[in-house]
Amino acid sequence: MSTQLTPEILSTLEKQSIEVPSWAYGNSGTRFKVFGTPGTPRDPFEKIADAAEVNRLTGLAPAVALHIPWDLVDDFSKLRAHAEDLGVQLGTVNSNTFQDDDYKFGALTHEDAAIRRKAIDHHLQCVDVMDETGSRDLKIWLAEGSNYPGQADMRGRQDRLQESLQEIYARLSDDQRLVLEYKFFEPAFYHTDVPDWGTSYAQVASLGEKAMVCLDTGHHAPGTNIEFIVMQLLRLGKLGSFDFNSRFYADDDLIVGAADPFQLFRILVEVVRGDGLNNPDVSFMLDQCHNVEEKIPGQIRSVLNVQEMTARALLLDRDALGAAQRSGDVLGANAIMMDAFYTDVRPALAEWRESRGLPADPMAAYAASGYQAKINADRVGGAQASWGA
Amino acid sequence: MSTQLTPEILSTLEKQSIEVPSWAYGNSGTRFKVFGTPGTPRDPFEKIADAAEVNRLTGLAPAVALHIPWDLVDDFSKLRAHAEDLGVQLGTVNSNTFQDDDYKFGALTHEDAAIRRKAIDHHLQCVDVMDETGSRDLKIWLAEGSNYPGQADMRGRQDRLQESLQEIYARLSDDQRLVLEYKFFEPAFYHTDVPDWGTSYAQVASLGEKAMVCLDTGHHAPGTNIEFIVMQLLRLGKLGSFDFNSRFYADDDLIVGAADPFQLFRILVEVVRGDGLNNPDVSFMLDQCHNVEEKIPGQIRSVLNVQEMTARALLLDRDALGAAQRSGDVLGANAIMMDAFYTDVRPALAEWRESRGLPADPMAAYAASGYQAKINADRVGGAQASWGA
Amino acid sequence: MSTQLTPEILSTLEKQSIEVPSWAYGNSGTRFKVFGTPGTPRDPFEKIADAAEVNRLTGLAPAVALHIPWDLVDDFSKLRAHAEDLGVQLGTVNSNTFQDDDYKFGALTHEDAAIRRKAIDHHLQCVDVMDETGSRDLKIWLAEGSNYPGQADMRGRQDRLQESLQEIYARLSDDQRLVLEYKFFEPAFYHTDVPDWGTSYAQVASLGEKAMVCLDTGHHAPGTNIEFIVMQLLRLGKLGSFDFNSRFYADDDLIVGAADPFQLFRILVEVVRGDGLNNPDVSFMLDQCHNVEEKIPGQIRSVLNVQEMTARALLLDRDALGAAQRSGDVLGANAIMMDAFYTDVRPALAEWRESRGLPADPMAAYAASGYQAKINADRVGGAQASWGA
Amino acid sequence: MSTQLTPEILSTLEKQSIEVPSWAYGNSGTRFKVFGTPGTPRDPFEKIADAAEVNRLTGLAPAVALHIPWDLVDDFSKLRAHAEDLGVQLGTVNSNTFQDDDYKFGALTHEDAAIRRKAIDHHLQCVDVMDETGSRDLKIWLAEGSNYPGQADMRGRQDRLQESLQEIYARLSDDQRLVLEYKFFEPAFYHTDVPDWGTSYAQVASLGEKAMVCLDTGHHAPGTNIEFIVMQLLRLGKLGSFDFNSRFYADDDLIVGAADPFQLFRILVEVVRGDGLNNPDVSFMLDQCHNVEEKIPGQIRSVLNVQEMTARALLLDRDALGAAQRSGDVLGANAIMMDAFYTDVRPALAEWRESRGLPADPMAAYAASGYQAKINADRVGGAQASWGA
């Protein structure tokens, strides 16, 4: 085996796990069109089967994030057993306050106490689910905001958000957490109630130690230095989780690493720098939409991208880098970064995978597995799961 | 009546007309949710009735743009008569190559000749419709592109696009035109086949004099100086039409003038400067989504916004401005612009409307008209029209 | 007098004061060229004379921000007396860590303790100046960062920044404050040590109650909702000051209100909403560059823009707005905002100015005053002050 | 030698040449500070010596772009002989219309015919220089524009620009060309007279076949798909030259490939796709600022970055890619792209360099050469060349 990846690096990589979202296996699209695909899951059990296939071939994805109500089942112990039978666990529970007519003008921030009540209750129900699934994290992505200046009292909403979150936070058990996602814009186009890391940080800091920030790599203004935010949140002890994906323009939700691989590298360098790798406080998750590409291979490609880039980040010669930084050697320091980035870790990783009983090339192994043909044939009839169902 | 708006200005305003899109009266939304609303039209006839109401109250919207296949009817002569009975005309015909499964990887640009054939035929059918409706313009918004680097051969697609457009162009009668819209991104997230005015211009310039560019005010990169493009296209004789709307982030499709009124002012100043106002070569249209606000009042507000801002643009003292520009008086020139912008033309316009038998306040007149209550009551059962139907 | 501006509004406006920066009167430019202009001040005394002229004509600018070392004088009591003779005060003291060769790779964040020492000492000297000038605020704009990935250890710099700030903070007297400015980018192009409000907030929150955030309206990513940040910082009690200017692209430092007047309106609406107006905790300052326009009239125009927009913000019918917001009346709420924005307050303000013994039109009054001709004639010889001197 | 780089690829790489700009060897900076460095050239002869060093160590940079008036010398035949003695040629001549007080409000676009005359004459003088230096290309970067809406008549300026360019174009000999650069913004902040490729294209298309577009990779709006423009200009036969550099935010002028290496790869893939590589019609040039890093090594790093990325682009399996594209295999096509990008070509290139008598590691060879120490010692006294001198 190549000596490029040291035993220490490999041992670190071995511990890496990336949570995959159940909804990535359903159909998704843009406001203009959602394309259907053969073999798409029709229920949470089928979604988890697909996720388990990703894990089987990569060893990287041992947990599946759920979305409530999309993944509501009558008996979560059954779903949990199904997952465990397939070698995966139920992971983060995501709430949904953006698909109910009541939430047109807000949920946790709504002017109307009755609608806030409903939204809070939905989150309490999510914690109930977590109790059953054994999930640790409640992830809240707040789609709330307004489209027109004047439409909403941004200040009042911020205060109501804090109140609502406090009630949800109080419901958590000692080993559960709340992670609050921020997003620059969409679906609201004038203001978003949690638009940036600063707002998420200020909100969770007021809640307590079990509240953390979720950083979605696609949720920033153009040009934002995301690795800086990673650094800062790790420094402040408030980086709870990553939602990985990539983007060229807005929240494109493309495969992680597809749009700007060097940015992913820099993010992972800061994760390593700040002890965020294999740190139980920091969940690695995907949050993507496979609008035009195949979904299961799309997820396999994604977890491999994270693994490969983590390997490159681990290759970084931090001692040499520190020396170059201290001496003001701009080109030298940059060269050390680029050397790690440009190193082709793929052959060594393939070898290492094989040594662990995994396919050297998980993409090829999936293509050869017959799994897709089987689900295409089996999953006929019923409604395909999709973004929003 | 205020002497602020001179007879010359009022006479210019009197000729202004803004085409409204049939789809603005249906439901629309984001990829996350489409909210339904009472009274939403269920067919093209009802959409046109709503559009006619906008025209009745404002005198500004005498034509309705259609979208094929959303507005396909068995007998367009009936739809035309229905419109004319209500005092409006059928306007620009919009094609649709983004909602058919075949078009997942392109339409007019597709690698597969059979799918290109289908897409071209769709456009030829649109021209058939134009022959029946008496519409002059075929508007093509090309939603085509790719999500991942390598997915598509951008160069080959550009050549195929030109070929496809040539066949469509050849079908036009002497008094018909093709207008090609450009858009920065969405629904494709890596590359879009007509992403900028330069591409649209190069494509239509190769077609001939009846091919023009459509400028949608929401389809540019952040920071783009849109009035510069307006100026340039007017200078090149290739500005065929406007799709008006406004945006804070991406293609938000908010009410025109809502996000940056000063930008709308500057655009209209260049329209006046370049003789684009009341110029038959330059259509004024709306293209908006009323996701959270009421649709008919949203359209009334929109045409009024365009009218008010046109009035401000007409107030601009162009002689004084020219003198300040020639003398390098930066603050003086800017002050002349700002003076026109900051002038409150609303009272004078209200008075003038009344003098012409229109409501002084069309928004209030609509609220008082009972129209909304009537359609809420009448339009029960059936499927509401929406973005995509 | 128009009844549009109520006595209450006028009384509020009467208390408004906007601090002007001494450097706005010197030459400035881009990296490509700094144009010189006749009459440009050659020393701090002349800058203050110009600033006093702005105040004399507008009654709006009773304080002048200083920049150290640009405005270092042998005897600050003399400068103070000079200012007071002219009816203005010495205001915020700005430090400078971006024009010394030692600071090429950082100042308060530098790897080298000796250079940090020098930078801290510079700030302590600034506080000495504050003691002499009677200034309350030490404003720190940190131009530090890096141009290439790997060049700098962002995390270590963040920690060192906190340490450095703590030492500076400790030097403040009870009635002095430290305000920390953030900036998206420039002069560093890869990372900036205080790039966003969240970082500034986290840094000052660790210092204590006398440390606040400075919001420069030109220092954000494209598309950022700045009024949201204003709202949030007021809510968190940490908005210490504004640096007003405007921009189309980057940190263009144009005249406040020139690029997007509606944005300035929305910012001021949130200031009023959050009790930030005439609140001693929140300083209003300008920070602009008059690269191509005349400087003194540029400053007059700027303070008038702030005043006019404040008047519009005060016109907002907040009760009606609240009612519309509570009832989900999107168009109604937006219309109330737009009504205040579109109201032409200029004639009423002119009348009111005159009633207070100020010129109705300060721009015209300046042009007629002969001041410019006088300084053009007098200020011959010597080196013109400029950005950087 | 690795078989990765085939003889065909190596033969293509052998022909590659990248023109370096004389000004990259002088000092540069931001509006806030220009840092001086030891060894900086004091005249055009010393700049060319430095450029020749880059070529000596890389074999990639056989031509040096000049900037007039920065590089004016009494006798260009002497400069030409000096260059040829050092193994390089004098290349593209750049005009300068941004550093003269007369040009504050425009040059080729100015309202005043006398100033346009002066600016045109400057360009005619540049062609005189070209005659002496044997340069083929006159490159025009038009820094003209305005800072405030209303300040300038954009339409009139566009027409005057065309007139001015026609006169300059008429002066060219048969084997000379004019390349017109476009830039999104800076130094003007409201409008720029040639802000986008469409404007440059429309302007040069009106001139004739010897007029082409120059694409500077740092001169676009955020999010612009630059490789699309490369494709389009090659398709239209109007891509005259590249100004390579990289950016995170604005026109940062960082080392090419430093900010987004994958973007550089995609650009070079389109260059190869469109037969733009080693095509005499398409010049490859650098245009960068080494504000904080060493200049000569910065240039060496830059030409190596272009060479390495060109090698990756040449590795792309275009047949396999075409097949995947035609079959709608999104992930497969993308994987073929990524495979070429992630291949580590550096060892093979080092070997190949050595085989040609060049240093395997030109950066190390420069460090070991003693050249920097020599120029640091020799170049004492005199004024260092800088951006602007």
Distance of alpha carbon C346 from alpha carbon B168, whole angstroms: 54
Question: Does the beta-carbon distance from C292 to D99 stay under 8 Å?
Answer: no
Q: What is the pLDDT of residue D6?
A: 96
| Region A31-48 average pLDDT | 95
* List of chain C residues whose C-beta atoms are within 8 Å of the C-beta of residue B261: 261-262, 338, 341
Question: Does the beta-carbon distance from D184 to C249 stay under 8 Å?
Answer: yes
Q: What is the pLDDT of residue C1?
A: 42
* List of chain A residues whose C-beta atoms are within 8 Å of the C-beta of residue D330: 292-294
* List of chain A residues whose C-beta atoms are within 8 Å of the C-beta of residue B97: none
Q: What is the pLDDT of residue D388?
A: 55
Contact D285, D245 (CB under 8 A): no
Q: What is the pLDDT of residue B386?
A: 83
Q: What is the pLDDT of residue D386?
A: 83
Partner-chain residue, chosen from D301, D331, D335, that has the shortest CB–CB distance to A331:
D301
* List of chain A residues whose C-beta atoms are within 8 Å of the C-beta of residue D249: 223
Residue closest to D41 by CA, chosen among D295, D350, D220:
D295
Q: Look at residue A3 and tell me whether its pLDDT is greater than 70.
A: no
Which residues sit opposite D145 in a β-bridge?
D192
Quick: pLDDT tens for D258-314: 999 999 999 999 999 999 999 999 999 999 999 999 999 999 999 999 999 999 999
Q: List the Cα angle C196/C197/C203 in 5-degree steps.
A: 100
Q: Look at residue D120 and tell me whether its pLDDT is greater than 80.
A: yes
Question: Does the beta-carbon distance from C261 to B258 stay under 8 Å?
Answer: no
D377 found inside a domain: no
D116 found inside a domain: yes
- The mean predicted confidence, pLDDT, of chain B is 97
Query: How far, CA to CA in Å, does C138 sit from each of C117, C141, C168, C229, C253?
Result: 18, 10, 10, 21, 21
Q: List the Cα angle D225/D229/D230 in 5-degree steps.
A: 110
Question: Does the beta-carbon distance from C158 to A235 stay under 8 Å?
Answer: yes
What are the residues of chain C with a beta carbon less than 8 Å away from any beta carbon of chain D?
28-33, 35-36, 98-99, 101, 104-105, 143, 146-149, 151, 184-187, 189-190, 222, 247-250, 252, 254-255, 258-259, 291-293, 387-388
Question: Does the beta-carbon distance from D29 to C31 stay under 8 Å?
Answer: yes
What are the residues of chain C with a beta carbon less than 8 Å away from any beta carbon of chain B?
222-223, 225, 248-249, 258, 260-263, 292-294, 297-298, 301, 330-331, 334-335, 338, 341-344, 346, 363
C350 found inside a domain: no
C373 found inside a domain: no
Q: What is the pLDDT of residue A386?
A: 83
Q: Are strands A145-146 and A89-94 parallel, antiparallel or unpaired?
A: unpaired
Question: Does the beta-carbon distance from A184 to C222 stay under 8 Å?
Answer: no
Q: What is the pLDDT of residue C148?
A: 98
Contact A113, A86 (CB under 8 A): no
Q: What is the pLDDT of residue D4?
A: 83
* List of chain D residues whose C-beta atoms are within 8 Å of the C-beta of residue C33: 98-99, 187, 388
What lies within 8 Å, CB to CB, of B175 at 6+ separation is B136
DSSP string, B77-126: HHHHHHHHHTT-EEEEEEP--SSSGGGGG-STT-SSHHHHHHHHHHHHHH
> What percentage of chain B carries pLDDT values higher than 70?
99
Backbone φ and ψ of D179, nearest 5°: -115, 130
Residue closest to B208 by CA, chosen among B234, B237, B241:
B237
Question: Does the beta-carbon distance from A261 to D341 stay under 8 Å?
Answer: yes
The parent domain of residue A132 ranges over 16-308
Quick: pLDDT tens for A280-316: 999 999 999 999 999 999 999 999 999 999 999 999 9
What are the residues of chain D with a beta carbon less than 8 Å away from any beta carbon of chain C?
28-33, 35-36, 98-99, 101, 104-105, 143, 146-149, 151, 184-187, 189-190, 222, 247-250, 252, 254-255, 258-259, 291-293, 387-388
Min Cα distance D338 → chain B (Å) is 9
The confidence band for D339, taking pLDDT boundaries of 50, 70 and 90, is very high
Question: Does the beta-carbon distance from B190 to D262 stay under 8 Å?
Answer: no
* List of chain A residues whose C-beta atoms are within 8 Å of the C-beta of residue C185: 223
- The mean predicted confidence, pLDDT, of chain A is 97
B103 found inside a domain: yes
CATH number, domain at A285?
Answer: 3.20.20.150
DSSP string, A214-283: EEETT-S-TT--HHHHHHHHHHTT-EEEEEE-B-SSSS--BPTTSS-HHHHHHHHHHHHHTT-TT-TTSE
Min Cα distance D230 → chain B (Å) is 10
Quick: pLDDT tens for D204-241: 999 999 999 999 999 999 999 999 999 999 999 999 99
Partner-chain residue, chosen from A261, A292, A331, that has the shortest CB–CB distance to D293:
A331
Min Cα distance A146 → chain B (Å) is 9
Contacting chains of D (3 CB pairs or more, <8 Å) are A, B, C
Q: Look at residue B190 and tell me whether its pLDDT is greater than 70.
A: yes
Residue A327: helix, strand or coil by DSSP? Answer: coil
Question: Does the beta-carbon distance from D344 to A344 stay under 8 Å?
Answer: yes
Quick: pLDDT tens for D140-190: 999 999 999 999 999 999 999 999 999 999 999 999 999 999 999 999 999
Partner-chain residue, chosen from A32, A148, A187, that has the shortest CB–CB distance to B187:
A32
Question: Does the beta-carbon distance from B294 to C260 stay under 8 Å?
Answer: no
What are the residues of chain B with a beta carbon less than 8 Å away from any beta carbon of chain A?
28-33, 35-36, 98-99, 101, 104-105, 143, 146-149, 151, 184-187, 189-190, 222, 247-250, 252, 254-255, 258-259, 291-293, 387-388
Min Cα distance C194 → chain B (Å) is 23
Distance of alpha carbon B264 from alpha carbon C342, whole angstroms: 14
Minimal-distance CA residue of chain A relative to B258: A148
Which burial class, exposed, middle or buried, applies to A31 when counting CB atoms under 10 A from its CB (0-12, 13-18, 19+)? buried
| Region A263-270 average pLDDT | 98
> What percentage of chain D carries pLDDT values higher than 70?
99
| Region B382-388 average pLDDT | 82
The confidence band for A389, taking pLDDT boundaries of 50, 70 and 90, is very low
The number of distinct structural domains making up chain B is 1
Question: Does the beta-carbon distance from B35 to A104 stay under 8 Å?
Answer: yes
B131 found inside a domain: yes
| Region B249-255 average pLDDT | 97
Which residues sit opposite D180 in a β-bridge?
D140, D213
Min Cα distance D220 → chain A (Å) is 13
A157 found inside a domain: yes
> What percentage of chain A carries pLDDT values higher than 70?
99
pTM of the model: 0.98
Q: Look at residue A130 and tell me whether its pLDDT is greater than 70.
A: yes
Element holding C91 (H helix, E strand): strand C89-94
Mutation target for B interface from A100, A147, A220, A248: give the one with most B CBs within 10 A: A147
Mutation target for D interface from C32, C196, C255: give the one with most D CBs within 10 A: C32
Partner-chain residue, chosen from D249, D260, D344, that has the shortest CB–CB distance to A260:
D260
- The mean predicted confidence, pLDDT, of chain D is 97
Low pLDDT (below 70) residues in chain C = 1-3, 388-389
Question: Does the beta-carbon distance from B149 to A258 stay under 8 Å?
Answer: yes
Question: Does the beta-carbon distance from C223 to A336 stay under 8 Å?
Answer: no
ipTM: 0.97
Residue B70: helix, strand or coil by DSSP? Answer: coil
* List of chain B residues whose C-beta atoms are within 8 Å of the C-beta of residue C263: 260
Partner-chain residue, chosen from D105, D148, D225, that has the shortest CB–CB distance to B334:
D148
| Region A226-247 average pLDDT | 98
Question: Does the beta-carbon distance from B147 to A101 stay under 8 Å?
Answer: no
Q: Look at residue B388 and tell me whether its pLDDT is greater than 80.
A: no
Residue A384: how many CB atoms within 10 A of its CB?
A: 17
Q: What is the pLDDT of residue C264?
A: 98
The confidence band for B90, taking pLDDT boundaries of 50, 70 and 90, is very high
What lies within 8 Å, CB to CB, of A260 at 6+ separation is A246, D260, D262, D263
Q: Look at residue A4 and tell me whether its pLDDT is greater than 90.
A: no
